[in-house]
Amino acid sequence: MVENTSQEEKIIIIGSGPSGLTAAIYAARAGLSPLLIEGFQSGGQPGGQLMTTTEVENFPGFENGIMGPELIERIKAQAQRFQTRFVSEDIEKVDFTSKPFSLFSGSKTWKTHCLIIATGASANILDHPAVKKYWGKGISACATCDGALPVFRNKPICVIGGGDSAIEEAQFLSRFASRIYLIHRRDKFRASKAMQDKLLSNSKIEAVFDSVIEDISGSNFVEIVKVKNVNTGQITEIQAKGIFMAIGHTPNTAFLNNSLELDEKKYIRVKHPTTATSVDGVFACGDVTDPRYRQAISAAGSGCCAALDAEKWLSEKGIE
């Protein structure tokens, strides 16, 4: 049986990463009493991708770095301080065809006049138990975030992938690492010719074709990566302190079931520079709209913008 929550909400925010939480801080301080639905889209817990990272060095204001989960905890406390209400449910379905909008989890329904979607994106990762085991212990999905960490400096590392972004990340990481093994399961890269030429001219990067990760070992941190050639079955051991996944991201938009306009990669299309979507009264922010930057601070910034857009929209509609 589906429970209908009796209240019509003024504003609901879906998502509990930096973007959704920042939207909550702004909406709450504007006196809108937002309801934030924190789901489990990313990594099986609320809080988004920062919950599965360790030290964050690049969120401005924390000059000595801060652990990802602690940062989320602090932003959440801030949203709570201004009376954001939280519920833990995964939204599985929406109905934007009538107003107020309806949101459905498996067991509950909500109605809201205005909606902010901040459900994020998930880094695609290899489905291998060793990858889960060493996640955050040498394995990362963000070269920008983690490439410069001391633990990878002047050390050999692996990058997994074969597209433009894999080669970009390998190039980027070659500034810090001593050697880079770019491991790709096919016999050539999908990346553009220009990109591949760059790769060839970079003596630090070695392409390892037709290969997949067989196993990872190390006492507490990645030390040895076992790579299997998919044609010959031969196993090679690579000494590496890190593994960077560069096999893409998937925006968490499946639950929307095409109720609003997505781009060709299924990210929500917004009317830049605003956070308005194709549905009047629905706003979106953070990684679910952003295939390009995907940083905690850029997500937080756009969360602020979404709340200000929503506040203005509600005020214009006279919904107080």
- Contact characters 280-299, its own copies, x per CB under 8 A: ----------x-xx-x-xxx
Which residues lie across from 180 on neighbouring strands?
157, 205
- Does residue 109 bind its own copies (CB under 8 A)? no
Contact 154, 175 (CB under 8 A): no
Q: Using CB under 8 A, which of the segments 24-32, 35-43, 109-117, 177-185 binds its own copies?
A: 24-32
Query: Least distance in Å: CB of 61 to its own copies?
Result: 5
- Does residue 133 bind its own copies (CB under 8 A)? no
Can 95 be counted among the known catalytic residues?
no
Query: Least distance in Å: CB of 19 to its own copies?
Result: 10
For residue 286, give every residue at least 6 positions away whose Cβ sits within 8 Å of its Cβ, in sequence order, or none. 15, 17, 18, 19, 20, 118, 120, 299, 302, 303
- Contact characters 136-175, its own copies, x per CB under 8 A: --------x---x-------------------x--xx--x
- Does residue 212 bind its own copies (CB under 8 A)? no
- Does residue 33 bind its own copies (CB under 8 A)? no
- Does residue 260 bind its own copies (CB under 8 A)? no
- Does residue 317 bind its own copies (CB under 8 A)? no
Contact 158, 134 (CB under 8 A): no
Can 287 be counted among the known catalytic residues?
no
Q: How many residues bind its own copies (CB under 8 A)?
A: 51
The active-site residue, picked from 146, 287, 290, 309, is 146
For residue 198, give every residue at least 6 positions away whose Cβ sits within 8 Å of its Cβ, in sequence order, or none. 167, 171
The number of beta carbons lying within 10 Å of the beta carbon of residue 115 is 26
CA within 13 Å, CB half, 26: 21
Query: Least distance in Å: CB of 30 to its own copies?
Result: 7
Can 142 be counted among the known catalytic residues?
yes
Alpha carbon distance, N-terminus to C-terminus of the chain: 32
301-319 residues labelled b (16+ CB within 10 A) or e (exposed)? bbbbbbbbbbbebbeeeee
Residue nearer to its own copies on the CB measure, 35 or 75:
75
Query: Least distance in Å: CB of 244 to its own copies?
Result: 15
Contact 50, 76 (CB under 8 A): no
Residue nearer to its own copies on the CB measure, 236 or 315:
315
Q: Is 42 exposed, middle or buried (0-12, 13-18, 19+ CB in 10 A)?
A: buried
Considering Cα of 182, then 188, then 192, then 196, what sign does the dihedral take? positive
- In the list 5, 45, 54, 78, the residue contacting its own copies (rule: CB under 8 A) is 78
The number of beta carbons lying within 10 Å of the beta carbon of residue 11 is 27
- In the list 81, 133, 186, 188, the residue contacting its own copies (rule: CB under 8 A) is 81
Contact 29, 313 (CB under 8 A): no
Cα 273 to Cα 93, 194, 224, 309, distances in angstroms: 27, 31, 45, 11
Query: Least distance in Å: CB of 290 to its own copies?
Result: 7
The active-site residue, picked from 114, 145, 158, 305, is 145
Binding site for its own copies (CB under 8 A): 18, 21-22, 25-26, 29-31, 57-64, 66, 71, 74-75, 77-78, 81-82, 144, 148, 168, 171-172, 175-176, 272-274, 290, 292-293, 295, 297-305, 308, 311-312, 315
Q: Which residues are known to be catalytic?
A: 142, 145-146
